[in-house]
Amino acid sequence: MKYKIKSRLWIEADGNVLLGEGRVRLLNAIEKTGSLSKAAKSIGISYNKAWSLIDAVNKTAEKKVITTSIGGKGGGGAQLTPYGKSLIIAFETINENCWKFLDEQITKQMYRDF
């Protein structure tokens, strides 16, 4: 039998959620598509939900994580700020290290001889 720990990780600031897997997924989609509406569509959420999540992240973070430009003849867009990119890298690194640690712990604790 193989055991596996399941967990979800998120980062809070002053009691408010800053980043979690869903928000990071949305930020990565914005980076890829250059658009909040296209990013929302690509991950299967509404534009309003995406805007609400990004607004919450921007209000919780020390600096803006995305910038937007208003549509028009050439269309609008959204892009990650350097700070936004650094938050994604930090979250993904922490998350990966957390999973490695949990995998090591389950192996160490559950498969030892008593």
- Could you report the per-residue pLDDT of 46-99, keeping only the tens digit for each? 999 999 999 999 999 999 999 988 866 666 799 999 999 999 999 999 999 999
Asked whether residue 28 is assigned to any structural domain, the reply reads yes
Q: In sequence order, which ranges of 1-114 are alpha helices (DSSP H)?
A: 21-33, 36-43, 47-60, 82-110
Asked whether residue 3 is assigned to any structural domain, the reply reads no
> The domain spanning residue 52 has which CATH number?
1.10.10.10
Q: Which two tokens stand for residue 67?
A: 């910038």
pLDDT of res. 25:
97
The total of structural domains in the chain comes to: 1
Asked whether residue 43 is assigned to any structural domain, the reply reads yes
CB-side neighbour CA atoms (13 Å) of 67: 5
CB-CB contact of 45 with 76 (8 Å): no
pLDDT of res. 70:
80
Average pLDDT of the residues of the chain:
91
Mean pLDDT, rounded, for 39-51? 97
